[in-house]
Amino acid sequence: MAGSITKNTGSLSRFIMRRDRIRIPLWIIGISFFTLMVPIAFGDMYSSQQERDVMAETMQNPAMTAMVGPGNLGNYTIGAMTTHQMLLLTAVVVGLMSILLVNRHTRADEEDGRIEMIRSLPVGRLSNVNATLFVLVITNVVLAMVTGFGLFALGIESMDLEGSLLYGTALGATGILFAGVTAVFAQLSESSRGVIGYSIAVLLLAYLVRAVGDVGNETLSWLSPLGWITQSEAYSNNNWWPILLTVGVSIILFIFANYLNAIRDLEAGFFPARPGRKNASAFLQSPMGLALRLQRTGIIAWAIGLFVMGISYGSVMGDLESFFEGNEMLEQMLVAEEGYSLTEQFIPMLLMVMGILATVPPVMAMNKLIGEEKKNRVEHLLGRAVSRTKLAGSYLLISILNGFIMISLAAIGLWSAALAVMEDGFEFGTIYGAALVYYPAMLVMIGFAVLLIGFLPKLTSLIWLYVVYSFFVLYMGGLFQFPDWVGKFSPFGYIPQLPVESMEWLPIIILTIIAAFLMIIGFIGYNKRDIEG
């Protein structure tokens, strides 16, 4: 009888591999390609041990430790550098891969009623979950082998066979562990969204607990599977016990998932389905409230992302001077100015990158309007007593505020982290002002988005081309020695480079007027055209 509850697991495994014959190889190729690129790039950028020691110095601060974990900074070889800077973040990506793949073949299939059809065939009750886990184990073993042997095959001196295999195995073990975590949540939660939500929450929690632990309390890091992974110290001490620990916990999770699956009904879960609100809050009952509610999660995620980006740029400010010396590529990108430190000269470029990146969420917020239109949902609003100007105005207002918040958060992150690591940090006003001058350029981008929505609703994604163009031309412009006029096609090309250059109000005022003009024209178009869908 024991065999009957896992009957046909083999056939189901083959079926799962057949369904994912492109998806799984893409994950493996993507992750291993990325992993192999990094040591090669490090070898080019930091070719001497002296340069690597400078880098180690730069990395030696709490913000960096929180972000990438502890590393062997005393003997910072290319191998140690790769493990320190990449292993943890790659492990998070591998965990994400496992979460998405397991959910796809367990709760998502069950929710859509496909498991019901499978179960009506001569297939065991536990076959599906075990087939999924089996495929995931194979996937992660292959990933471990490909990255492990691949890293060794690069032939970099400090990257021996044992270290390389340990690196790959650490990634694979993390993947297997999160396959187990997801398999358990796939039994507990009733919806596939819930499974993904809980599993990613565990992943993020593991990352955060480790971050806090690595900076302060070491025992805390022992509670996090991602903390174990960083203890493997591939290419330095080569500890294998964290792998054994991870695999051991994975087996317990697999057994637990099987147990839960055996005692529950199909399509049922253990977490009660939470009923939602019966009535709308007063806040939701307006076009503006609705638009904000629909974008809430996205806005919060972007806000955190930009703040963290600001912090990570800021946290390297302390050792920038020594870091720049001797790095030809960066020196070429920065034009030497008399009277300013290299760190200060680096600021305008950082802020421009942040400014263009901070343009992405407000443009998304504006384009949400066209997304809603294409899904036939704006007619619910326009079919009631809501004018087009009011509807589009709500989205525009959110977009404008969104942009302001995003650039502000990035600047605050940069300033506060720089304050923590530099001997005498920047004035808040200097950084914030230098960031805020990019705001009018962001407004022009939003204006173009509005214009497209008003007149070319089918081509609204053209705005992204313009954003990418701006980024490419202005960020890479110095490196490739583009002529000046190439940058002048982007509003970002007119912004004075504070604090190195002096403030100029004229371009700021003109850009703001252009932005307002584009928005007004766009609104006129939106009021005149047919609604699509």
Amino acid at 124: G
Beta carbon of residue 398, minimum distance to another protein (angstroms, whole number): 16
Are the CB atoms for 523 and 392 separated by under 8 Å?
A: yes
- Classify residue 34 as exposed, middle or buried by CB count within 10 Å of its CB (0-12, 13-18, 19+): middle
Torsion of CA 381, 385, 388, 390, to 10 degrees: -100
The answer to the question of residue 458 lying near another protein (CB under 8 A) is no
Stretch of 229-237, 278-286, 336-344, 517-525 contacting another protein, by CB under 8 A: 278-286
The answer to the question of residue 384 lying near another protein (CB under 8 A) is yes
The answer to the question of residue 122 lying near another protein (CB under 8 A) is no
Nearer to another protein, 114 or 380 (CB): 380
The answer to the question of residue 275 lying near another protein (CB under 8 A) is yes
Nearer to another protein, 78 or 381 (CB): 381
Beta carbon of residue 525, minimum distance to another protein (angstroms, whole number): 12
Stretch of 2-10, 167-175, 236-244, 522-530 contacting another protein, by CB under 8 A: 522-530
The answer to the question of residue 287 lying near another protein (CB under 8 A) is yes
Q: Cα–Cα–Cα angle for 504, 505, 510, nearest 5°?
A: 120
Nearer to another protein, 347 or 391 (CB): 391
Q: Classify residue 273 by its DSSP letter.
A: P
Q: Which two tokens stand for residue 153?
A: 């095959």
Q: Cα–Cα–Cα angle for 134, 135, 137, nearest 5°?
A: 65
Are the CB atoms for 199 and 178 separated by under 8 Å?
A: yes
Stretch of 149-157, 162-170, 374-382, 460-468 contacting another protein, by CB under 8 A: 374-382
The answer to the question of residue 528 lying near another protein (CB under 8 A) is yes
The answer to the question of residue 376 lying near another protein (CB under 8 A) is yes
What DSSP line would sit under 315-372, residue for residue?
A: HTGGGHHHHHTT-HHHHHHS---TTS-HHHHHHHHHHHHHHHHHHHHHHHHHHHHHHH
Pick the binder of another protein from 14, 114, 377, 488 (CB under 8 A). 377
The answer to the question of residue 278 lying near another protein (CB under 8 A) is yes
The answer to the question of residue 279 lying near another protein (CB under 8 A) is yes
CA distance 303 to 511: 25
Beta carbon of residue 277, minimum distance to another protein (angstroms, whole number): 5
Pick the binder of another protein from 379, 427, 501, 504 (CB under 8 A). 379
The answer to the question of residue 272 lying near another protein (CB under 8 A) is no
Nearest residue to 137 (alpha-carbon basis) of 94, 166, 104: 94
String marking each residue 327-366 x if it binds another protein according to CB under 8 A: ----------------------------------------
Beta carbon of residue 304, minimum distance to another protein (angstroms, whole number): 19
Q: Cα–Cα–Cα angle for 28, 31, 32, nearest 5°?
A: 80
CA distance 431 to 354: 12
Nearer to another protein, 7 or 529 (CB): 529
CA distance 175 to 177: 5
Judged by the rule CB under 8 A, the positions of this chain that interact with another protein are 275-281, 284-287, 290, 293-294, 375-377, 379-387, 528-531
